């Protein structure tokens, strides 16, 4: 990590996710081989937080950009860090096809159930009944459809892959999240296929809650819709 301050609102857990990625890279000793990709959304400025090569690209396109980098530099470690608008809405095609091709890249996606950067609008991951600035009376599935469970979707289409969902709301869950980040990079290191880690993350400002209530909301509401765990482990990745 660099000494730049995180650009996030109080109580946001993006910063924890960044730290886990940075720690995993240090522990695996791969800093000189890593290329990270960020795109539009809250994390678009997170390239400042690291000391390795980084790319900033268009909203939703980072799995395709990652494909272009990895195909050109097969010995590098390439990861994309996406929000849920980036991965589950505008960039769903790029993510899905990178997963289908089992590209040897890693995608981290933050699921905080809203668009944070633009002011708390609904995301594909917004829970049923959840109030957002674009659906002020709450998500009504008969009108606005149902939430998407990204990890399950990716696990069902990506033949060779590591797929996990973690949460950043408690010490225990954060430790498990760290393990998932390391296992994702190991999947890439051993050339076992695509790796995807969905991270349930707090957005107190977007949710109009206190930071503490937000962590509780992840535990009580989000995990109910988005269960935690490993959904797919490639052959050759030790338990």
Partner 1 sequence: MGEIDLLSGNEALGESAIRAGCLFFYGYPITPQGELFEYMARRLPEVGGTFLQSESEIAAISMVYGTAAAGKRVMTASSGPGISLMQEGISHLAAAQLPCLIVNVMRAGPGLGRVRPSQADYLQATRGGGHGDYRAIVLAPASAQEMADLAFEAFKLADKYRNPVMILCDGMLGQMMEPVALADPIDPNQLPPKPWAVTGAKGRERNLALAAPYTDEELIALNLELKSKYESIEVQEARWESHSLDDAELVVVAFGTSARISEDAVLKARKEGLKVGLIRPITLWPFPKQAFNTPQEKIRAYLVVEMNAGQMLEDVLLAKRGDIPAYHFGLGGGWVPSTEDVYRKLVEVYKRKGGL
For residues 135 and 22, what is the distance between their CA atoms, to the nearest angstrom? Answer: 36
34 touches partner 1 by CB under 8 A: yes
Task: Kindly state the smallest distance separating residue 76's Cβ from partner 1, in Å.
Answer: 5
32 touches partner 1 by CB under 8 A: yes
Sole binder of partner 1 in the list 16, 35, 107, 164 (CB under 8 A): 35
* Token representation of residue 42: 């809250």
For residues 236 and 25, what is the distance between their CA atoms, to the nearest angstrom? Answer: 21
Sole binder of partner 1 in the list 1, 9, 28, 31 (CB under 8 A): 31
Task: Kindly state the smallest distance separating residue 210's Cβ from partner 1, in Å.
Answer: 30
Residues 6+ apart with CB under 8 A from 29: none
For residues 105 and 52, what is the distance between their CA atoms, to the nearest angstrom? Answer: 16
Under a CB-based contact definition with an 8 Å cutoff, are residues 53 and 35 in contact? Answer: yes
Q: Which is nearer to partner 1, 97 or 176 (CB)?
A: 97
- 201 CB neighbour count, 10 Å cutoff: 28
189 touches partner 1 by CB under 8 A: no
Site for partner 1 in 94-133 (CB under 8 A): 94, 96-97
For the packed helices 171-189 and 14-28, what is the interaxial angle rounded to 10 degrees? 50
Taking CB under 8 A as the binding criterion, the range among 68-76, 111-119, 178-186, 220-228 that sits at the site for partner 1 is 68-76
Sole binder of partner 1 in the list 9, 52, 221, 233 (CB under 8 A): 52
Sole binder of partner 1 in the list 33, 131, 176, 216 (CB under 8 A): 33
* Token representation of residue 171: 């010490």
Under a CB-based contact definition with an 8 Å cutoff, are residues 165 and 177 in contact? Answer: no
* Token representation of residue 144: 């606005």
Helix or strand holding residue 55 (H, E): strand 53-57
Residues that bind partner 1 (rule: CB under 8 A) add up to a total of 36
53 touches partner 1 by CB under 8 A: yes
* Token representation of residue 237: 């990745």
Sole binder of partner 1 in the list 69, 148, 215, 218 (CB under 8 A): 69
191 touches partner 1 by CB under 8 A: no
Task: Kindly state the smallest distance separating residue 157's Cβ from partner 1, in Å.
Answer: 13
Footprint of partner 1 (CB under 8 A): 31-35, 37, 44-45, 47-48, 50-58, 61-62, 64-73, 76, 93-94, 96-97
């Amino acid at each position: 990590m660099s000494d730049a301050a995180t650009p996030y609102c109080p109580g946001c857990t993006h910063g924890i996710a960044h730290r886990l990625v940075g720690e995993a890279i240090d522990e695996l000793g791969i800093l000189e081989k890593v290329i990270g990709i960020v795109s539009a959304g809250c994390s678009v400025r997170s390239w400042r937080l690291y000391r390795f090569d980084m790319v900033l690209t268009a909203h939703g396109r980072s799995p395709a950009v990652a494909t272009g980098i990895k195909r050109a530099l097969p010995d590098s470690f390439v990861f994309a860090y996406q929000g849920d608008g980036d991965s589950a809405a505008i960039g769903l095609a790029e993510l899905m096809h990178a997963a289908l091709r089992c590209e040897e890249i890693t995608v981290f996606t933050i699921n905080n159930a809203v668009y944070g950067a633009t002011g708390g609008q609904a995301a594909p991951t917004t829970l049923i009944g959840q109030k957002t600035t674009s659906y002020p009376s709450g998500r009504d599935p008969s009108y606005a459809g149902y939430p998407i469970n990204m990890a399950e979707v990716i696990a069902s289409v990506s033949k060779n892959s590591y797929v996990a969902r973690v949460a950043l709301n408690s010490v225990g869950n954060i430790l498990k999240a760290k393990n998932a980040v390391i296992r994702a990079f190991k999947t890439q290191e051993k050339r076992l296929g695509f790796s995807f880690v969905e991270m349930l993350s707090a957005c107190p400002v977007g949710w109009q809650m206190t930071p503490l209530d937000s962590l509780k909301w992840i535990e009580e509401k989000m995990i109910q819709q988005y269960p935690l765990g490993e959904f797919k482990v490639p052959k050759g990745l030790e338990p």
